[in-house]
Amino acid sequence: MSSWLKSAIFYEIYPQSFQDTNGDGIGDIPGITRRLPDIRHLGANALWINPCFDSPFKDAGYDVRDYKKVAPRYGTNDDLKALFVAAHEAGMHVILDLVPGHTSEEHPWFLASCQPDKNEFSERYIWSDTWLGNMEGRPFIAGEAPRFGMYMLNFFKCQPALNYGFAHPTHAWQHAADSPEALATRAAMEDVCRFWLEAGCDGFRVDMAASLVKDDDDEKSYTCALWRDLLGRLRKDFPEAVFVSEWSDPERALASAGFDADFYLDHVGNGYNYLVRDGESGEKDLSYFRKDGGGLQPFLTDYLPKLTATQGKGYISFISGNHDTPRLARCLDPAEQALAMAFLLLMPGVPFIYYGDEIGMRYIENMPTKEGGYTRTGTRTPMQWDRGTNLGFSDAPADRLYLPVDPSPDAPVLSEQRGDADSLYETLRRVTAFRNANPELQADGTLSVAEMAADGRAVLLCRGHFVIAVNPDAGKALLAAPDGLAPLQPAFAIGEASLSGGFLQLGPQSLSLWEIA
């Protein structure tokens, strides 16, 4: 595993909405380079950039037309290489978004695969041998290619599925996962990874990593074997490269497939969802970090077994949000967001901050869909830097922006929170600084419960020589300092907390750290 990952705090950038430098209304790579000092000032030391490759942008770049070319609207390959250099000079790392499961329907591989005459790319995608019927219940398109047959889709109509084979082929048109056809696709994706790693990229976040081999078993045995092979070969030449999976099954992704980190995604009913987005279930919102929410036990019941099963095998990655998830501000007020994000930053593993979450950017409701965003569009609006034109995102006329900025007069902006000790931004800066200064609070290590209130709200958690005291409630809480952990020395606090007579007195909506002397 790479040496730099254990101390990483990632910052996710949706490039079209981050910083426009050429006045066309769309964010670009030079804009990211320009803002590196701002990201570093927050305390983040690594970037994940959503797809920036050439694309028709029917799915915001997740429909790749050329894996080896930066989309012209973002700049050039040289601009991206310059970003790698600038980031490295600033002590930062950059991972790109790899979309291995499908391409755009405009990719040259697919255009060649559509041709009736046999060629190098004929089996790069999944084609049936009939023009009628279906494809084993999977989405498909028929009637649009001169080739005889139908082709399988992964998601939108514009995203034909690449052929990594089937776990158990049942038809002549289905290739085995170790067939020459499937291995050729795997080799092509390895070539893409090598191209960018050689250019200075530090690794990849892998989109829908569990979905490559079709009809895989419940353990994803064939897909895991594919990743072990592919990642193993890449690591021989790039031992410091990092691979983060969009899988949300850390036992499979880390222990079986060999990824370095796996996202703990926002799935209704899981532990992460219960922390901050329980209201998505349609029932009463019992998110733990709401001041009137529920207890922490449902989170611990889901999370702790995952953490135990993956110790020493890789890291679970908590997210503040991402390009597919409604922003925290949709369900938590600023004080609740501060506690929630501080908590996520202090958990074992590698945390990811979604751009704008550090200032409490809002989810914009009822926004018309953009580039396949649909309900996700409201979480992809431009970064809000200051009170200047378009909140500092772009000098372009408002009607030319990729998406409109938050129109609210009180839209949060970075310039007004920077330097304000009570702001969300400065609170998170204090948390990242404390984490960066204390290796015991970084990726490695365990988590255990030392004490919990009867209702599960106030809790004391142990990480190394630190006790994390959390009280998300609107009222005060009192917890006994556990035997064997005294004496405790105050080390960090959001809100009020004190120790007296062997009891920790936790103020409303507080999070504090105590060092075991």
The pLDDT tens digits of the residues spanning 45-87 come to: 999 999 999 999 999 999 999 999 999 999 999 999 999 999 9
- Report the pLDDT averaged over residues 435-460: 96
Cα 320 to the chain's mean position, in Å? 9
pLDDT of 482 strictly over 90 = no
User: Which part of the chain has CATH 3.20.20.80?
Assistant: 5-99+264-437
With beta carbons less than 8 A apart as the criterion, state whether 459 and 447 touch. no
User: Which part of the chain has CATH 3.90.400.10?
Assistant: 102-163
What percentage of residues in the chain have a pLDDT greater than 70?
100
pLDDT of 401 strictly over 90 = yes
Calpha distance 61→55 (Å, rounded): 6
Calpha distance 89→261 (Å, rounded): 24
13 bridge partner residues? 49
User: Which part of the chain has CATH 2.60.40.1180?
Assistant: 447-516
**In which band, very low, low, confident or very high, does the pLDDT at 1 lie, cut at 50, 70 and 90?**
confident
* 340's tokens: 């929630």
With beta carbons less than 8 A apart as the criterion, state whether 52 and 69 touch. no
| Whole-number pLDDT of residue 194 | 98
pLDDT of 484 strictly over 80 = no
Tell me if the domain spanning 102-163 has CATH number 3.90.400.10. Answer: yes
| Whole-number pLDDT of residue 396 | 98
Nearest to 356 by CA among 27, 4, 24: 27
Calpha distance 103→26 (Å, rounded): 23
pLDDT in tens, 352-398: 999 999 999 999 999 999 999 999 999 999 999 999 999 999 999 99
pLDDT of 282 strictly over 90 = no
The residues, ordered by sequence, that sit 6+ positions from 287 with a Cβ below 8 Å of its Cβ are 274, 275, 276, 277, 278, 279, 293, 294, 331, 332
Nearest to 95 by CA among 260, 276, 284: 260
With beta carbons less than 8 A apart as the criterion, state whether 320 and 353 touch. yes
| Whole-number pLDDT of residue 356 | 98
* 442's tokens: 């970084």
- Report the pLDDT averaged over residues 170-190: 97
**In which band, very low, low, confident or very high, does the pLDDT at 489 lie, cut at 50, 70 and 90?**
very high
With beta carbons less than 8 A apart as the criterion, state whether 19 and 28 touch. yes
Helix (H, G, I), strand (E, B) or coil at 460: strand
| Whole-number pLDDT of residue 284 | 87
| Whole-number pLDDT of residue 133 | 82
Tell me if the domain spanning 5-99+264-437 has CATH number 3.40.50.720. Answer: no
Calpha distance 513→517 (Å, rounded): 12
Average pLDDT of every residue of the chain: 96
Q: What is the CATH number of domain 447-516?
A: 2.60.40.1180
- The answer to whether the predicted template modeling score (pTM) of the entire model surpasses 0.95 is yes
